[in-house]
Homo-oligomer: A and B are copies of this chain.
Amino acid sequence: MGYSDVDKLAVNTIRVLAADATFKSNSGHPGAPMGMAPVAHVLYNKIMNYNPKNSSWLNRDRFVLSNGHACMLQYTLLHLAGYKISMDDIKAFRTIDSITPGHPEAHDTDGIEVTTGPLGQGFSNAVGLAIAQHHAAGEFNKPGFALINNYTYTFLGDGCMMEGIASEAASLAGHLQLGNLIAIYDDNHISIDGDTNCAFTEDVVMRFKSYGWHVEIVEDGDHDLEGIEAAIKKCQAVKDKPSMIKLRTIIGFGSKQQGTHGVHGSPLKADDIKQLKVKFGMDPEKSFVVPQEVYDLYAQHGAEGAAMEKEWEQLLSKYAESYQSEAADLKRRLSGQLPEGWEKSLPVYSPADPAVASRKLSEIVLQKIHDVIPELVGGSADLTGSNLTRWKEAVDFQPPATGLGDWSGRYIRYGVREHAMGAIMNGLAAYGTVIPYGGTFLNFVSYAAGAVRLSALSHVRVIWVATHDSIGLGEDGPTHQPIETLAHFRALPNCMVWRPADGNETSAAYYVALTSKETPSILALSRQNLPHLENSTIANAMKGGYVVHDVEKADITLVSTGSEVGICVDAVKYLKDNHNLAARVVSIPCFEVFDAQSKEYRLSVLPDGAPSLSVEVMSTMGWERYTHEQFGLNRFGASGPYKDVYKKFEFTPEGISKRAVATVDFWKDVPNIRSPLNRAFQQVS
């Protein structure tokens, strides 16, 4: 230990930069950065191992700012540490197309591990990063080769503490005994509504102990750099529990308004910044100043980190001599590329094969590919037997001491914690050594909407195995039957929603989900059995939409997904026999992927000249983009055996035919019917 005046100067420099940047942007949160500057300095300058010149070094310590609104703190530290954030970037805080947006975005900014801001997410991402570290250590470390042993640090405030997602993640982290996870709670007694005593009076220390965490308390987080470091080191020494440090700080430390919510979300006034600089012995007339000795202090730590990485690379080289295949596997995983030829393991079906529920088809895929894609790490939010997410030989990811599994286990028992599962998967994906998937009922992916949104925004490969995808789940009834869910996630940018109709479409969904390195996927899968369709091939379904049944001079095209495609095929015959109408059938298992095809291809699937009718047992919202008319369910479902439910709402060959006849009739006088794919202009993208 031993902290010098330069350390104090560094701390105050960080505080003042946060005040300067939020003042310049006239927006942002100075309070938390000013309060947390001491711990941030200790962490980035004394504790964390990282090489600022290579932010993708595998064994770097991870840092997550769960209170993402305090991002000026993180941008400042990354700047000081030598990452690719210049002083001009700091000055461009919260302006268009800068790399210093209002909340940290992993995809755009060097040194940001995960995208945070929505409260509770970052803390849960950190749990995911820590799981990934334990898992990778379990898989790759060997005697004499502690290849992967980094810590994960996360800052969180009262807001994160109050969010349910953080409770879920904390409970699971305690269960999993994640010894390399250290959370630092900024206990500043202030949230936006004022003193936390108005809404948040629980005993946080007792709560975390109840989850099985180790807890340290630092009383003076504003000055006690030694105490902060000592607490972190104590936490590092606790190997069988995650740790939480309750750090008492004063929000907006140094401001005339320190300790009030006046410094939480609004910039300081000009005169307040001046007195702050005077108080800290700085020139009140200058802004955005970093003393050279502060830069030097960080350059030294950065150099140590670079040396450490070099040493690690040497360790890895030696490791590769003894463990050639493991080393090659690790290297490949970090590239994001799947093993060559893995796709040959995907099951292929023909119409002669017996009908199977797509949740079961998904299980078959997982059973076939888990061996060839060792980075696949699954789980379920306590619905394993319903989601069918676990391959037969799977070992659970559990602390070995429990006797229930191992660190190298590839199946995570998430418990009934959908939101945390989503955020933990984001953390798992961000770590770099695993591809996570997780199961729940489609309806309850909505519980995790906040995390799914961040998967999409931060470009991570995460797969939701979302079974029981419609009224077809039957007896559980309206509380469990999705209506709005597909529309919701289809409207989310950079999110693939798949609703496969049969075996080959399910294989295609997995193929695209697994090979899309920057896009999360939701696979909506049926509880009920589905027949295998003619023309359904992996190659066809990979295009997101294709013709299942074609006919010359079609009177109508039926366009559908999942369990309704087969019923549409049956409706073709009904329409011919009873109405002498010729119908085509199109399956669009994934809008997002279909939209990415050439216009020529898309128009071959949904051509001009005849009207089209979509058929899907949920909200029709969004289908107007592809079809002229829509048959769906814009109301809640019903509880009963699924065939009765389908019949009640007329999703039968007869019911579909009735709407098809009405569609043909309605469009018969329109000359030159234009496919809805023809648009006046391109969307902004």
Contacts and interface: CB of A to CB of B under 8 A. Distances in A.
A210 B212 contact: no
Q: Which of A416, A611, A629, A649 has the most CB of B within 10 A?
A: A416
A321 to B, nearest CB: 39
B159 A382 contact: yes
Nearest to A445: B449
A648 to B, nearest CB: 6
B639 A98 contact: yes
B164 A163 contact: yes
Given A202-B171, A447-B449, A681-B662, A477 B94 contact: yes
A635 interface: yes
A551 interface: no
Interface stretch (A189-197, A427-435, A506-514, A564-572): A189-197
Contacts of A102: 475-477, 479-480, 639
Contacts of A372: none
B639 A662 contact: no
Nearest to A446: B449
Contacts of A400: none
Interface string A412-448: 0111110110000000000000000000000110110
Nearest to A192: B382
Give this chain's copy count.
2
B446 A450 contact: yes
Contacts of A671: 671
A204 interface: yes
A117 interface: yes
Contacts of A597: none
A667 B680 contact: yes
A491 B483 contact: yes
Nearest to A383: B192
A558 to B, nearest CB: 13
Contacts of A488: 449, 484, 487-488, 491
Contacts of A666: 678-681
A618 to B, nearest CB: 8
A372 B495 CA distance: 46
A631 B682 CA distance: 9
For chain A, the bracket of interface size reads 35 or more
Interface string A196-223: 0111111111110111100000000000
B450 A447 contact: yes
Nearest to A454: B479
A101 B25 CA distance: 55
B416 A163 contact: yes
A683 interface: yes
Q: Which of A105, A158, A492, A674 has the most CB of B within 10 A?
A: A492
Interface string A522-556: 00000000000000000000000000000000000
A84 interface: no
A680 to B, nearest CB: 4
B402 A197 contact: yes
Nearest to A207: B210
Interface in A613-659: 613, 619-622, 624-625, 628-636, 638-641, 644-645, 648-650, 658-659
Contacts of A249: none
Interface string A77-98: 0000000000000000011111
Contact of A210 (B202, B404, B624, B625): B202
Nearest to A671: B671
A564 B97 CA distance: 23
A149 B666 CA distance: 61
Interface of A: 25, 27-28, 68-69, 94-98, 101-103, 105, 115-120, 158-160, 162-168, 171-172, 174-175, 191-193, 197-207, 209-212, 265, 380, 382-386, 396, 398, 402, 404, 413-417, 419-420, 443-444, 446-447, 449-450, 453-454, 456-457, 474-480, 483-484, 487-494, 611, 613, 619-622, 624-625, 628-636, 638-641, 644-645, 648-650, 658-659, 662-663, 665-667, 670-671, 674, 676, 678-681, 683-685
19 contacts: A102-B477, A103-B480, A105-B477, A117-B479, A120-B164, A159-B416, A164-B165, A164-B420, A165-B447, A193-B415, A198-B398, A203-B211, A206-B210, A446-B450, A628-B680, A633-B684, A659-B681, A662-B680, A667-B680
User: 8 tightest A-B contacts by CB?
Assistant: A164-B164, A624-B624, A101-B639, A666-B680, A167-B167, A199-B415, A102-B477, A206-B210
Given A27-B641, A96-B644, A487-B487, 18 more contacts: A94-B640, A95-B639, A95-B644, A118-B444, A118-B479, A158-B416, A159-B382, A163-B447, A175-B202, A191-B382, A192-B384, A204-B210, A484-B489, A493-B634, A624-B676, A635-B684, A658-B681, A666-B678
